[in-house]
Amino acid sequence: MIPFETGQLAPEVIEAIFNTLPVDITFVDREDTVRYFSQSQDRIFKRSKAVIGRKVQKCHPPKSVHVVDQIVKEFKEGTRDVAEFWINLKGRLVYIRYFPVRSKTGEYLGVLEVTQDITAIKEISGEKRLLDK
């Protein structure tokens, strides 16, 4: 079991939780190295395990590396708390967010990328209070 401030979980449960979330997550450490990605069934941007240990800049097209560098720099400096993008991809609206991961004392630990297909979410209107059969 791995103890947390609000409970404890077994490593296999943590991994199952990450893979069950309705978002894809990727963690890049303080040295700009990819350390983890979730493996949800419907992952939007497919990842190979070969990216583990690779610099994040090597995981993006050359034309967008300057944006990656700017985001990471501002997260490290503490001048930015989120970077958000949305793109149309094969008829889906994809929401991509980056968050700095910090310790309780504010020390920069890395970047969390969260990617979500929000196509169906954008269509929601009114209320739904009953469970479907």
Q: In this structure, is residue 19 part of a structural domain?
A: no
Q: In this structure, is residue 9 part of a structural domain?
A: no
Q: In this structure, is residue 53 part of a structural domain?
A: yes
Q: In this structure, is residue 102 part of a structural domain?
A: yes
Dihedral of CA atoms 92, 43, 114, 104 in degrees, nearest 10, equals: 160
Rounded to whole angstroms, the maximal C-alpha distance in the chain is: 50
Q: In this structure, is residue 65 part of a structural domain?
A: yes
Look at the chain and report how many structural domains it folds into.
Answer: 1
* Range(s) of the domain holding residue 55: 25-122
What percentage of the chain reaches a pLDDT higher than 90?
86
CATH number of the domain bearing residue 114? 3.30.450.20
Q: In this structure, is residue 17 part of a structural domain?
A: no
pLDDT in tens, 39-84: 988 899 888 999 999 999 988 889 999 999 999 999 999 999 999 9
Q: In this structure, is residue 64 part of a structural domain?
A: yes
pLDDT (mean) for 87-102: 96
